[in-house]
Amino acid sequence: MNRKIGKYDIIERLGRGGMAEVFRAYHASLDRYVAIKVLHAFLADDPEFKGRFEREAQNVAKLKHPNIVQVYDFDFDPPSESYYMVMELVEGPTLKDRLQSLSDQGNQMTLAESLRIIREAAGALAYAHSRSMIHRDVKPANLMLDHDNRVVLTDFGIAKIVTGAQFTASGGMVGTPAYMAPEQGLGEAGDERSDLYSLGIILFQLVTGKLPYDAETPLAIILKHLNTPTPLARAFKPDLPDSVDRIIAKAISKESDDRYQSAADFILDLERAERGEPVEAGAKDDRPALLQSPDQETVRIPRDDTPTQEIAAPQQVRRSGLPWWGWGGLVIVLVALVIVGAASGVFSTFGGGTPTPTPTTTAETTSEVVVGAPSDTVAAAVPSDTPVRVPTDHSPTATNTPTVRPTQSPAPSNTPTRAPTRTATPTPSRTPAPSETPSRTPTWTPSPNITATAAALAAIQSATATACRFDYAILEQDPPDNEIYPANRPYERKILLQNTGICDWEPNTFLNYVEGESYNAGPRIFIQERVPVGEQVELNFVGKTPVRGADYTGIWELRTPNQRKIGEPIEIRIRVYEGG
């Protein structure tokens, strides 16, 4: 491919999507391979696009985390009339590719690997959220796995860059319905909890091999996220540990106030599950029970803090917090979306949002959605054998008194009637054992200010890191400095390090390129495992010698996952000769 974008030589196209193309490119002056995302020219028709692109690209370039793809540069390419971003080239498949490969082989990802991937992705989100950056399109196609199996979150800022006044006015929506939070389906921008919802959907998919909501069209999938009772992961995988089931249930709650309020909380529970410890994500008396009754014709989507109301099958199910006129408006808006979107082709955005190396898969058809008239509520058609969650605690506390809403007024045709006789005579299968009824604790009280909470958690983590003294000693280098090598040949050095500080090195501590000769080793070299105080670890430095003969020195720094420098910079010096 004989093409150049700015100072970058294009080598090959890696992927193409509705918003951009991604290319492998080479930066000759730095002897470095990069990935370039070229946004489609039509996006620049929005008069506000240039300012939005530059602002978001600058913000994304400031993100420096081992699990977030590094952005090096951004600019405008006059020949193609397109804006582009230059990023770290991650050699490896996307999580979407990995899942497809496992599915083709009839295999499924292990639970330990699933939890690790979600924990690393949550760590990336925690870092970004603490800097007021929301992803808005977290999905397997935007999670890459490099050759060391490190998780790398891509496409930060793209959702905000491509969402302009003209785009949304034409019926466009940025996001992927299979992983989109309910509030995003209603047209809201979403917040930290929306990203965590998407991550919870991915965890559901990893451990069960299925998506919780499938349908034939993007519109039907959005409606299911809004209206269909949240499925139980253990119904698809009965041997799933209760702790993981609880984590998923909390992460994909329909109401954002019922989810994890920060990525840090999400990570704490994931780590507990990895250690085999119990998780209190939703006490037993708060969690809906599994209800499987083929002859039962009652559908229920309750809030945790409201008394049980049973709704007969001919009635519609109403998602709490949205009145009947809201559902009517939603139907009208979504129908308009279908019409306008089909005319303008914007539904291509639903399939993948942003380009990935592989085509976006279409959700398999597993059930269908019934939509009521615009003036009525929206009903979810739930198969009779689909397990739904029914709360077993109906005693509201002083802090959980439900708000009286206009939609609660009695109406002959739409308002469900309480059935005290049914409530008073539950079946034994719905009665939890006394040992499984812990009291509600204030630990899970939703935070009224998510941004402030994330900032406070970041401050606590920063204070903890400050109390540590990080340092290292080089015990051995093989080969040592100033050895002579031929030009343009593979180069490898093993560096034996010892943790001589007073705090452990967390997983994903890394060697970071600073200046001088990079030896084409990439911007960061990671230490995957935790390194306790006094312990040793071998770091494998793999690169390539420069193309011209000379003496070379590269400056590198050892850093914690939170970007704190460990000790003094490391110099890597070699002598290179040409010919022979």
Beta partners for 566?
Answer: 558
Residue with tokens 């796995």: 145
| Higher pLDDT, residue 372 or 222 | 222
For the chain, the average pLDDT equals: 74
> What percentage of the chain exceeds 90 in pLDDT?
45
Q: Using one digit for the tens of pLDDT, what is the confidence trace for 423-434?
A: 444 444 444 444
Q: Where are the beta strands (DSSP E) in 335-449?
A: 388-390
Contact assessment for residue 512 and residue 536, using Cβ atoms and an 8 Å cutoff? no
Q: Using one digit for the tens of pLDDT, what is the confidence trace for 68-113?
A: 999 999 999 998 888 999 999 999 999 999 999 999 999 999 999 9
Beta partners for 12?
Answer: 24
- The SS3 assignment for 70 reads coil
Q: Using one digit for the tens of pLDDT, what is the confidence trace for 463-485?
A: 555 568 899 999 999 999 999 99
Write the CB contacts of 187 (distance below 8 Å, at least 6 apart in sequence).
Answer: 173, 333
Contact assessment for residue 233 and residue 202, using Cβ atoms and an 8 Å cutoff? no
Q: Is 242 a catalytic residue?
A: no
Across 286-298, average pLDDT: 35
**How many CA atoms within 13 Å lie on the side-chain side of 414?**
18
Question: How many whole angstroms separate alpha carbon 203 and alpha carbon 117?
Answer: 9
Query: Which of 54-63, 155-164, 427-436, 571-580 shows the lowest per-residue confidence on average (mean pLDDT)?
Result: 427-436
Across 133-138, average pLDDT: 91
One of 9, 137, 304, 385 is an active-site residue; which one? Answer: 137
Torsion angle of alpha carbons 111, 112, 118, 123, nearest 10°? Answer: 160
Question: How many whole angstroms separate alpha carbon 496 and alpha carbon 288?
Answer: 52
Write the CB contacts of 268 (distance below 8 Å, at least 6 apart in sequence).
Answer: none
Give φ, ψ of 456 to 5 degrees: -65, -40
| pLDDT score for 334 | 52
Q: Is the pLDDT of residue 390 over 90?
A: no
Maximum pairwise Cα distance, the chain: 93
- The two tokens of residue 72 are 């090096």
| pLDDT score for 330 | 53
Q: Domains of the chain (ranges plus CATH)? A: 3-88 (3.30.200.20), 95-290+298-397+406-423 (1.10.510.10), 472-577 (2.60.40.10)
| pLDDT score for 155 | 87
Please state whether beta strands 565-577 and 483-486 pair in parallel, antiparallel, or not at all (unpaired).
Answer: parallel
Q: Using one digit for the tens of pLDDT, what is the confidence trace for 140-160?
A: 999 999 988 999 999 887 777
Q: Is the pLDDT of residue 460 over 70?
A: no
Q: Using one digit for the tens of pLDDT, what is the confidence trace for 331-354?
A: 444 544 444 344 334 333 333 444
